[in-house]
Amino acid sequence: MHWLIGVAQADVTPREPLWLGGYGGRSRPADGILHPLRTAALAVTDAAGRRGVFISSDQMGFAPETVRQIQDALHRDLGLSPADIFLTASHNHCGPVLSGALIDYYGMTADEWAAVDRYTREYVEVVVRLAGEAFNHAKPGELLSGEGRAEFAVNRRNNRETEVSALLEEGRPLLGPTDHSVPVLAARSTAGDWMAIAYGYACHPTVLSDYHWCGDYPGFAALAMEKEFPGVVPMFWTGCGGDQNPLPRRTVELCRTYGEELAESVRSTVRAGLERIEPELRTAYQRVELPFEHTLDPSEFETHLDSPNSIRRRWSRRWRERLLEGTQVPSSVEYPVRVWRLGKRHLWIGLGAEAVVDYALRFRREYGPHTWICGYSDEMLGYVPSRRVWEEGGYEGGFLFEYGHPAERWRGDVEDRITAGVAGLVDAVFQE
């Protein structure tokens, strides 16, 4: 009894000049490269023939339309359902802007957006091809799990960035919840060769903010992994890092150091011995309705037309035009949640967008230590606060306009809705 496992990866560094995604303050396209951007697919088939594909990428985040294109193509080509397609973005801020994502964020021209659309179309084809190749080249192997730790994620809501270095030097504690676990999922052929090693960490890839393509700390971690495990495909996923930053930051040296710390955690976890996962896969997926607290009306958009914030100006102008055209303003968003069960007890929960760390801590409490939580899977829809963060307010508690929604905040029951959705899926993957 074994898994069938296949892996494929590609260099997806843009070949024409594109803007880098994730920061509103950049003013021009990328002008260099630190290391190539990656996307990889890990295809697994269990002993009963049930299939799933995990896709990791050095991307910022995907618009709903892009996710749908990938899901439709993989359904057409491979018969996979959305439950079986675990698509993730590392939330890299040194990768390209993608079509439809953070559309009010960037001061880009129509030509620059056209280049983004060309790249995104090609990118969708690459993802679909990689998933197909991974299944086509699958061979017998085993999946193994373990867990390490890394300490560089800091709760950015509870610690002032300018004070973190001093606090660390003085040995004083940093504040606020974090998730410093490094879950590890390793795939090895029956011949004993490492095929892929996937690992997660709950922290924004935002060490660097310049004009060079790179994968930020996950990119440096992948380079270190390749040195340590020749021939392996490294696959990073970001956990519930919506409120977590790598601090201190902003130098290539720190970026490399964090990447190497992460890779070292994976290496020592693998060396310490991993737990074998039975070849049994169940997948479940659902879209949970997340209502906005209040949808803006035309007169409310008007008040932002001359805002000093350029994102707000673009956002209010765009919505005003759409309202004048008679477009219906949505009052909620469909939020994707996914659960995979690997073996008898490993749960892998995939949440859309930028979930804060409270979600990971809660799910581990509720479902036990064999639970991994992946943020930034499927669509980038905004920050996803817990009840606590929603009540505290601040950046991760709202700011939905930055993601182009016609609202400022979710309704206060966002955590209840998401955890209820996940609970239903967990029940589903434990049913025979």
Q: How far is the CB of 322 from Zn ion (least distance, A)?
A: 25
Q: How far is the CB of 74 from Zn ion (least distance, A)?
A: 26
Q: How far is the CB of 204 from Zn ion (least distance, A)?
A: 5
What are the b/e assignments for 176-208, b being 16+ CB within 10 Å?
A: ebbbbbbbbbbbbeeeeebbbbbbbbbbbbbbb
In terms of Cβ atoms closer than 10 Å to its own Cβ (0-12, 13-18, 19+), residue 427 is exposed
d(CA 97, CA 318): 19
Q: Among 95-103, 215-223, 294-302, 351-359, which window interacts with Zn ion (CB under 5 A)?
A: 351-359
Q: How far is the CB of 91 from Zn ion (least distance, A)?
A: 6
Q: Which of 116, 121, 91 is nearest to 103 (CA)?
A: 116
Q: Please, which residue, 130 or 240, has the CB nearer to Zn ion? A: 240
Q: Which of 96, 92, 38 is nearest to 206 (CA)?
A: 92
Q: Please, which residue, 97 or 274, has the CB nearer to Zn ion? A: 97
Q: Please, which residue, 58 or 354, has the CB nearer to Zn ion? A: 354
**Alpha-carbon torsion (89, 94, 100, 105), positive or negative:** positive
d(CA 371, CA 80): 24
Q: Please, which residue, 354 or 379, has the CB nearer to Zn ion? A: 354
Per-residue contact string for residues 310-349; x = within reach of Zn ion by CB under 5 A:
----------------------------------------
Site for Zn ion in 21-60 (CB under 5 A): none
Size of residue set near Zn ion by CB under 5 A: 1
Please answer whether residues 197 and 280 qualify as being in contact, where contact means their C-beta atoms are separated by less than 8 angstroms.
no
Q: Which of 193, 183, 188, 260 is nearest to 222 (CA)?
A: 260
Q: Please, which residue, 147 or 354, has the CB nearer to Zn ion? A: 354
Q: Please, which residue, 46 or 354, has the CB nearer to Zn ion? A: 354
What are the b/e assignments for 262-279, b being 16+ CB within 10 Å?
A: bbbbbbebbeeebeebbb
Q: How far is the CB of 383 from Zn ion (least distance, A)?
A: 7
Q: How far is the CB of 336 from Zn ion (least distance, A)?
A: 17
Per-residue contact string for residues 354-393; x = within reach of Zn ion by CB under 5 A:
x---------------------------------------
Q: How far is the CB of 376 from Zn ion (least distance, A)?
A: 8
d(CA 180, CA 153): 7
Site for Zn ion in 244-263 (CB under 5 A): none
d(CA 411, CA 136): 44
Kindly report the number of other CB atoms within 10 A of residue 230's CB atom. Answer: 8
Q: How far is the CB of 278 from Zn ion (least distance, A)?
A: 36
What is the C-alpha radius of gyration for the chain, rounded to an integer number of angstroms? Answer: 21
Q: Please, which residue, 354 or 378, has the CB nearer to Zn ion? A: 354
For Zn ion, which residue has the nearest CB?
354
Q: Please, which residue, 260 or 354, has the CB nearer to Zn ion? A: 354
Q: Which of 65, 73, 5, 4 is nearest to 235 (CA)?
A: 5
d(CA 153, CA 41): 26
Q: Please, which residue, 56 or 145, has the CB nearer to Zn ion? A: 56
**Residues within the interface to Zn ion (CB under 5 A):** 354
